[in-house]
Structure 1
Amino acid sequence: MADYQSEAQLEADLVTRLTGLGYAPVTLPDMAAMQANLRAQLGRHNGVTLSDAEFAKVLNHLDKGNVFEKAKTLRGRMQLTRDDGTPLYLQFLNTQEWCQNQYQVTTQVTVTGHHKNRFDVTLLINGLPLVQIELKRRGVELKEAFNQINRYQRHSYWAESALFQYVQLFVISNGVNTKYYANNRNQDFKQTFFWAEEDNTLVTQLDAFADVFLEKCHVSKMISKYIVLHESDKILMVLRPYQYYAVEAIDARVKAGRKNGYIWHTTGSGKTLTSFKAAQVLIENPKVDKVVFVVDRADLDYQTTKEFNHFSDGSVDGTDNTRALVGQLGGDTKLIVTTIQKLNTAISRDRYEGALQAVKDQRVVFIFDECHRSQFGDTHKRIVRFFSKAQMFGFTGTPIFADNAVGKRTTKDLFAECLHKYVITDAIADENVLRFSVEYWGRLKRKDGSLMDEEVPAINVKEFFDNPDRIDGVVDWIIQNHDRKTHNKQFSAMLCVSSVDALIAYYEAFRRKKEAGEHHLRVATIFTYGPNEADPDADGLIGDPDLNVTDLPVDVRKRDRLESFVADYNAMYQTKETVKDSVGFYTYYNHLSQRLKNRDRKDALDKDRLDILLVVNMFLTGFDAKKLNTLYVDKNLKYHGLIQAFSRTNRILGQVKSQGNIVCFRNLKPNTDQAITLFSNKDAIETILMAPYGDYLSRFNEAVEVLRGIAPDPDSVNELNSEDDQLTFVQAFRDLIRLRNVLTSFTEYNADDLNLEPQAFEDYKSKYLDIHDKTKVDKPDDPASIIDEVDFELELIQRDEINVAYILGLLSEAFSEQDSLDPKTRDASKAKKKMVYDLLGSERHLRSKRELIEKFIEQHMSVMTPDQSVAEVFNGFWDEEKSNAIAQICAAENIEPSAFKQMIEQYHFTGKKPLQGAIVDALTEKPKILERKGIVERVTRKLQRLISTFDDGIGSL
Structure 2
Amino acid sequence: MIFNEDSRVKIPSILHLIQLGYKYLSLKEAQWDENTNIFTSIFKEQLQLINSNLSEKDIQKVYADISISLENEDLGRAFYNKLIDQSGVKLIDFENFDNNSFHVVTELPYNKDDESFRPDIILLVNGMPLVFIEVKKPNNRNGVQDEHRRMQRRFQNKKFRKFVNLTQLMVFSNNMAYSEEDTQMLEGAFYSTTNYKKPIFNYFREEETFDLNKLLQPRTEEDENFVLKDTNLLSIKSNKEYQSNKSPNTATNSISTSLFQRERLKFILRYAFAYVEEENGLEKHIMRYPQLFATKAIENKLENGLKKGIIWHTQGSGKTALAYFNVKHLTHFFQKHNIIPKFYFIVDRLDLLTQAAKEFTARGLVVHKVDSREAFSRDIKSTSVLHNSSGKAEITVVNIQKFKDDPDVIKNNDYNLSVQRVFFLDEVHRSYNPKGSFLANLELADKHSIKIGLTGTPLLGSEYNSKTLFGDYIHKYYYNLSIKDGYTLRLIREEIETNYKLVLQEALENIKVLQGNIDKKKLYADHRFVEPMLDYIVKDMEQARISMGDNSIGGMVVCDSSDQAKMMQEIFDDKYADKSDTLFDQAAEEPASYGNKKKEESKVNKAQVILHDIGTKQDRRDWVSGFKVGKLDFLFVYNMLLTGFDAKRLKKLYIGRKIKSHNLLQTLTRVNRTYKTH
Q: TM-score range with shorter-chain normalisation?
A: 0.7 to 0.9
Larger radius of gyration: 1
Asked if residue 193 in structure 1 is aligned to residue 202 in structure 2, the reply is yes
- Alignment counterpart, residue 375 of structure 2, candidates 323, 346, 349: 323
Mapped to 1, the partners of 2:153 and 2:368 lie a distance apart of 40
Structure 1 residues 70 and 12, CA gap change in structure 2 (3 angstroms): same
Deviations 1:521-563 (A, max 9, x none): 32222334xxxxxxxxxxxxxxxxxxxxxxxxxxxxxxxxx5x
TM-score after normalising by structure 1: 0.53
Query: Where does residue 391 of structure 1 map in the other structure?
Result: 450
Structure 1 residues 375 and 593, CA gap change in structure 2 (3 angstroms): farther
Mapped to 2, the partners of 1:394 and 1:631 lie a distance apart of 28
Mapped to 2, the partners of 1:97 and 1:24 lie a distance apart of 18
Q: Report the identity percentage.
A: 22
Deviations 1:161-200 (A, max 9, x none): x4663221111112221111122324x45x2111112289
- Alignment counterpart, residue 353 of structure 2, candidates 289, 300, 309: 300
Asked if residue 364 in structure 1 is aligned to residue 414 in structure 2, the reply is no
Structure 2 matches for 1:659-698, cutoff 5 A? none
- Structure that is richer in helix per residue: 1
Q: Structure 1 residue 357: deviation in Å? A: 4.4
Which is worse superposed, 209-218 or 370-379?
370-379
Structure 1 residues 465 and 108, CA gap change in structure 2 (3 angstroms): farther
Structure 1 residues 241 and 520, CA gap change in structure 2 (3 angstroms): closer
Query: Where does residue 73 of structure 1 map in the other structure?
Result: 82
Asked if residue 17 in structure 1 is aligned to residue 16 in structure 2, the reply is yes
Q: Secondary structure of 2:39's partner?
A: helix
Mapped to 2, the partners of 1:152 and 1:216 lie a distance apart of 29
Structure 2 matches for 1:168-317, cutoff 5 A? 168-176=168-176, 177-186=188-197, 188-189=198-199, 191-198=200-207, 205-230=251-276, 234-284=282-332, 285=334, 286-287=338-339, 289-295=341-347, 296-301=349-354, 304-305=357-358, 307-308=360-361, 311-313=364-366, 315-317=367-369
Q: Secondary structure of 1:409's partner?
A: coil
Structure 1 residues 47 and 157, CA gap change in structure 2 (3 angstroms): farther
Higher relative contact order (CA 8 A, sep 6+): 2
- Alignment counterpart, residue 590 of structure 1, candidates 609, 616, 621: 621
Structure 2 matches for 1:653-664, cutoff 5 A? 653-655=675-677, 658=678
Mapped to 2, the partners of 1:654 and 1:310 lie a distance apart of 22
Q: Is the CA contact 1:308–1:337 (under 8 Å) kept in the aligned structure 2? A: no
Deviations 1:620-678 (A, max 9, x none): 111101121110111123442222111111211213xx2xxxxxxxxxxxxxxxxxxxx
Q: Secondary structure of 1:332's partner?
A: coil
Give the counterpart letter for 1:58 in structure 2.
Answer: V
Mapped to 2, the partners of 1:322 and 1:339 lie a distance apart of 12
Q: Secondary structure of 1:301's partner?
A: helix
- Alignment counterpart, residue 643 of structure 1, candidates 639, 647, 665: 665
Q: Structure 1 residue 244: deviation in Å? A: 0.6
Structure 2 matches for 1:750-765, cutoff 5 A? none
Mapped to 2, the partners of 1:31 and 1:484 lie a distance apart of 56
Query: Where does residue 31 of structure 1 map in the other structure?
Result: 32
Give the counterpart letter for 1:645 in structure 2.
Answer: T
Mapped to 1, the partners of 2:608 and 2:443 lie a distance apart of 41
Structure 2 matches for 1:498-513, cutoff 5 A? 498-511=560-573, 513=575
Deviations 1:774-795 (A, max 9, x none): xxxxxxxxxxxxxxxxxxxxxx
Q: Is the CA contact 2:346–2:423 (under 8 Å) kept in the aligned structure 1? A: yes
Mapped to 2, the partners of 1:449 and 1:344 lie a distance apart of 44
Structure 1 residues 45 and 238, CA gap change in structure 2 (3 angstroms): same
Deviations 1:790-817 (A, max 9, x none): xxxxxxxxxxxxxxxxxxxxxxxxxxxx
Asked if residue 63 in structure 1 is aligned to residue 63 in structure 2, the reply is no
Q: Structure 1 residue 413: deviation in Å? A: 1.9
Give the counterpart letter for 1:39 in structure 2.
Answer: K
Q: Structure 1 residue 340: deviation in Å? A: 2.6
Q: Is the CA contact 1:134–1:149 (under 8 Å) kept in the aligned structure 2? A: no
Q: Is the CA contact 1:157–1:165 (under 8 Å) kept in the aligned structure 2? A: no
Q: Secondary structure of 2:476's partner?
A: strand
Mapped to 2, the partners of 1:106 and 1:654 lie a distance apart of 34
Mapped to 2, the partners of 1:391 and 1:503 lie a distance apart of 42
Q: Secondary structure of 1:618's partner?
A: coil
Mapped to 2, the partners of 1:463 and 1:368 lie a distance apart of 35
Query: Where does residue 433 of structure 1 map in the other structure?
Result: 488
Asked if residue 332 in structure 1 is aligned to residue 384 in structure 2, the reply is yes
Query: Where does residue 430 of structure 2 map in the other structure?
Result: 373
Deviations 1:692-712 (A, max 9, x none): xxxxxxxxxxxxxxxxxxxxx
**Structure 2 spans left out of the alignment, 5+ residues:** 177-187, 210-248, 387-393, 510-518, 580-602
Mapped to 2, the partners of 1:512 and 1:164 lie a distance apart of 49
Q: Structure 1 residue 438: deviation in Å? A: 1.7
Q: Structure 1 residue 43: deviation in Å? A: 3.6
Mapped to 2, the partners of 1:654 and 1:384 lie a distance apart of 44
Give the counterpart letter for 1:374 in structure 2.
Answer: S
Structure 1 residues 463 and 598, CA gap change in structure 2 (3 angstroms): closer
Q: Is the CA contact 1:121–1:132 (under 8 Å) kept in the aligned structure 2? A: yes
TM-score after normalising by structure 2: 0.74
Structure 1 residues 358 and 642, CA gap change in structure 2 (3 angstroms): same
Mapped to 1, the partners of 2:256 and 2:645 lie a distance apart of 36
Structure 2 matches for 1:711-730, cutoff 5 A? none
**Structure 1 spans left out of the alignment, 5+ residues:** 79-88, 454-460, 529-561, 567-577, 579-583, 600-608, 659-957
Structure 2 matches for 1:504-903, cutoff 5 A? 504-511=566-573, 513-514=575-576, 521-528=605-612, 562=613, 566=614, 578=615, 584=616, 586-599=617-630, 609-655=631-677, 658=678
Q: Structure 1 residue 63: deviation in Å? A: 0.5
Give the counterpart letter for 1:263 in structure 2.
Answer: I
Query: Where does residue 118 of structure 2 map in the other structure?
Result: 118
Q: Secondary structure of 1:399's partner?
A: coil
Structure 1 residues 448 and 470, CA gap change in structure 2 (3 angstroms): closer
Q: Structure 1 residue 264: deviation in Å? A: 1.0
Deviations 1:310-348 (A, max 9, x none): 7444x4237668437724751412544222327847975
Structure 1 residues 178 and 651, CA gap change in structure 2 (3 angstroms): same
Query: Where does residue 147 of structure 1 map in the other structure?
Result: 149
Mapped to 2, the partners of 1:214 and 1:414 lie a distance apart of 38
Give the counterpart letter for 2:455 in structure 1.
Answer: T
Structure 1 residues 622 and 290, CA gap change in structure 2 (3 angstroms): same
Q: Structure 1 residue 445: deviation in Å? A: 5.1
Give the counterpart letter for 2:345 in structure 1.
Answer: F
Query: Where does residue 136 of structure 1 map in the other structure?
Result: 136
Q: Is the CA contact 1:249–1:420 (under 8 Å) kept in the aligned structure 2? A: yes
Q: Is the CA contact 1:111–1:117 (under 8 Å) kept in the aligned structure 2? A: yes
Q: Is the CA contact 1:486–1:630 (under 8 Å) kept in the aligned structure 2? A: no
Structure 1 residues 288 and 63, CA gap change in structure 2 (3 angstroms): closer
Q: Secondary structure of 1:433's partner?
A: coil
Structure 1 residues 353 and 46, CA gap change in structure 2 (3 angstroms): closer
Q: Is the CA contact 1:291–1:336 (under 8 Å) kept in the aligned structure 2? A: yes
Give the counterpart letter for 1:35 in structure 2.
Answer: T
Q: Structure 1 residue 381: deviation in Å? A: 3.1
Q: Structure 1 residue 308: deviation in Å? A: 4.0
Mapped to 2, the partners of 1:168 and 1:12 lie a distance apart of 23
Query: Where does residue 552 of structure 1 map in the other structure?
Result: none
Give the counterpart letter for 1:94 in structure 2.
Answer: D
Structure 1 residues 360 and 69, CA gap change in structure 2 (3 angstroms): closer
Give the counterpart letter for 2:609 in structure 1.
Answer: T
Query: Where does residue 235 of structure 2 map in the other structure?
Result: none
Mapped to 2, the partners of 1:516 and 1:126 lie a distance apart of 58
Give the counterpart letter for 2:672 in structure 1.
Answer: N
Q: Structure 1 residue 104: deviation in Å? A: 0.8
Give the counterpart letter for 1:333 in structure 2.
Answer: V
Query: Where does residue 391 of structure 2 map in the other structure?
Result: none
- Alignment counterpart, residue 492 of structure 1, candidates 543, 550, 554: 554
Deviations 1:47-103 (A, max 9, x none): 78964x55433321220223111111212269xxxxxxxxxx642112344444221
